[in-house]
Structure 1
């Protein structure tokens, strides 16, 4: 069996082999915290739509980066940001119309009970705040996450992000359960996952922590992308809520139409989250994130702790977010995610039939996972080879999963049929080369 891999080690540049020039300059500036993609890092200078351009003139089709969700440098988002920063940018202690315009537009897409939204600058901050709200609202401390979850990088959120830990294990108040796939649960993913969560709650109770929350990225991205069958999350969510815990749906990666069938990933499962966190695609690259909660839950937290975020919810971020919502609707990007995603999945299935190196195909819309295998086992070495071969063909893609052997497909929602076909052609050559 392959070794378990830490998320930032997947497809990362290895500085121990020596560096020069601009790479060394980056390492001198960031030190041990520097993370660069690819064994030969790329210097990017511009991007548009689904494409990025490097300093050497090479153009790359971006299947890696889900932050510019409506497309790199989308003109409407650029105009909105430029106009607002030229007029006013301040914090939320002042009344500024665009901020409440954005909050109301966002709330219109959320479950009605989640009527309070706190805006932050990163998904890490949003998940940190969500956990603190859950602790205050429930009076419990225990949190359940999946074995290869990633939810951010504050001290608190790192504790519930096993895939970020290079050494050690999550603290005593955190329980992990296997990802919701057939490898762990066979044909009864819903029942098996609910049973695993129920047993995790019992272990937390035995240690005196109780259950504050089940925290899930609703597409289980870092675990290797798990979307099916629709509804599998519901029994586990109901078990936690019946025990007094909260369901926190981390929509930082699957939210904003990416899964095609719904605006949020949790909609695929018909669950009612108590808290929704979001980030990455909200501002199409402008740093913004948020947490939506029930007023009573937020009140429980605020009764004990003051909270204010200087940059969270600033007018420029709100303008960017409002533009993103307009573009998703005006350009039919949620529908595009569903239709182009179906084209990609069909193409992948055809390629997989002729390859012994492709395992399971999973996902929804424009968020897909492709397991690469050797003799039926995860093959991270081959995965890295495929990633490098696709880069040579002008396509950027990354890895995920417990062993780093799952290709993670997250192109911009504006991807068109010709670009999808170009990806499939590069992928077929990479897995057969």
Structure 2
């Protein structure tokens, strides 16, 4: 089966209770086989609040995984904004709507001045798809460079630049991969130089470098002086070859990496020192409603708009914009990016302390409330996917939601809703320690 080892598989069915088996049978009878369920023992939730999710039987789970409800599950201000607007009007962007304009003005003010133009779409996949269309038209090239285990979405175009979905064999002929900026970054720079030469030799040219600024599917890499220097060198090489730079902020954006007085930005590309031509945003943008977007330099979008009449029926509807505006206001009114920075730093410290005393964990790393820690074989120090899977399953039984990531699916991926508290962090560490003991 393609995908993480933490997914449910048919051989798990016999161990499930009758209701869970019945729901899975009904689901499989009508839904696409391409869908996946988390966990050998899938879980059914009926309610959420803040950082907690609740089952039909009232069991409380701590959410250490879901980054979409960025201001917390079922936030009352977001729910009220959706209900109020839905009761009044919901059309599309071909009519004037002051709410849409107001939101766009607020949003682009949070970007560097050159990134001044917003196009709304529904999903991160659509945002990345549009970014590639713009880049290919602007450059006259089609070659794209991505990191070796990147995930950027599921459209035909974007799946073709997402090696984490199907490996290198699933990539388009005009896609080349590079290693992420680990260590001193020389490997990534060398890979980029080879990728540029190969794309040019094949007649594709270089349209764009696209990076997820959390490097989530590559196992997560926090910003550092080394990553900044590496990405600057790679971006310069791509631009010298006539390409553009796309920052994929669908996962790290909107303050997930934390914000402080020294580092106030909501975006990973700023933390990495990147100067992108196009930025894609999505997942947490409206706390659960399908809202995403492309923020770009106006000359690029002006040239694109001269040749393309872009319209998306459900992008930028008044209800979606109301949800996005309420989410934006809650993020700022409740100081959640700053909160993420403080709690994330404390959680990283707890992870480091736990790692220091446990040979199965290595290299805790992170920024804000996006953290990772590798699970390794104590004897060899190599990535241990079975152990990571066992930890994810063990934490599920301890009512903690988490997942694994990275090329080996052996890095625990920690990205809770931003209201995640110090108490939540302590509960997670306590249960992780218990799951490690159970693992032996």
TM-score, normalized by the shorter chain, greater than 0.5 = yes
SS of residue matched to 2:62: strand
Counterpart in 1 of 2:61? 60
Structure 2, unaligned stretches of length 5 or more? 15-20, 260-264
SS of residue matched to 2:180: coil
2:204 to 202, 205, 209: 209
Q: 1:39 to 1:81 in 2, by over 3 A?
A: same
Counterpart in 1 of 2:158? 157
Determine if the alignment matches structure 1 residue 253 to structure 2 residue 251: yes
SS of residue matched to 1:233: helix
Q: In structure 2, what is the Cα distance between the partners aligned to 1:55 and 1:178?
A: 44
Determine if the alignment matches structure 1 residue 365 to structure 2 residue 360: no
Counterpart in 2 of 1:239? 237
Any idea what the Cα deviations from partners look like across 1:87-119, whole Å, max 9, x if unmatched? 111100000111111111111111211221110
Any idea what the Cα deviations from partners look like across 1:154-193, whole Å, max 9, x if unmatched? 00000000111168231210000112223xxxxx12x432
Q: In structure 1, what is the Cα distance between the partners aligned to 2:35 and 2:400?
A: 23
Q: In structure 1, what is the Cα distance between the partners aligned to 2:238 and 2:168?
A: 29
Deviation, structure 1 residue 241:
2.0
Q: In structure 2, what is the Cα distance between the partners aligned to 1:203 and 1:10?
A: 34
Q: In structure 1, what is the Cα distance between the partners aligned to 2:121 and 2:170?
A: 28
Q: Does the 8 Å contact 2:388/2:411 carry over to 1?
A: yes
Q: How does 1:43-192 map to 2 (within 5 A)?
A: 43-165=44-166, 168-182=169-183, 188-189=184-185, 191-192=186-187
Q: In structure 2, what is the Cα distance between the partners aligned to 1:25 and 1:302?
A: 45
Q: 1:10 to 1:101 in 2, by over 3 A?
A: farther
Deviation, structure 1 residue 143:
0.3
Counterpart in 2 of 1:221? 216
Any idea what the Cα deviations from partners look like across 1:265-300, whole Å, max 9, x if unmatched? 111111111000011000000110000111221233
Deviation, structure 1 residue 234:
2.0
SS of residue matched to 1:31: coil
Q: How does 1:274-423 map to 2 (within 5 A)?
A: 274-374=277-377, 375-423=380-428
Quote the RMSD (CA, aligned, Å): 1.5
TM-score, length of structure 1 as denominator length: 0.94
TM-score, length of structure 2 as denominator length: 0.93
Q: In structure 1, what is the Cα distance between the partners aligned to 2:12 and 2:400?
A: 25
Q: In structure 1, what is the Cα distance between the partners aligned to 2:429 and 2:389?
A: 17
Q: In structure 2, what is the Cα distance between the partners aligned to 1:91 and 1:34?
A: 30
Q: 1:167 to 1:29 in 2, by over 3 A?
A: farther
The number of residue pairs the alignment matches comes to 422
SS of residue matched to 2:177: strand
Q: Does the 8 Å contact 1:123/1:278 carry over to 2?
A: yes
Any idea what the Cα deviations from partners look like across 1:186-236, whole Å, max 9, x if unmatched? xx12x4322321221111111111111001100100111012424242221
Structure 1 residue ranges, 4+ long, deviating more than 6 angstroms after superposition: none
Q: In structure 2, what is the Cα distance between the partners aligned to 1:331 and 1:31?
A: 39
SS of residue matched to 1:197: helix
Counterpart in 2 of 1:272? 275
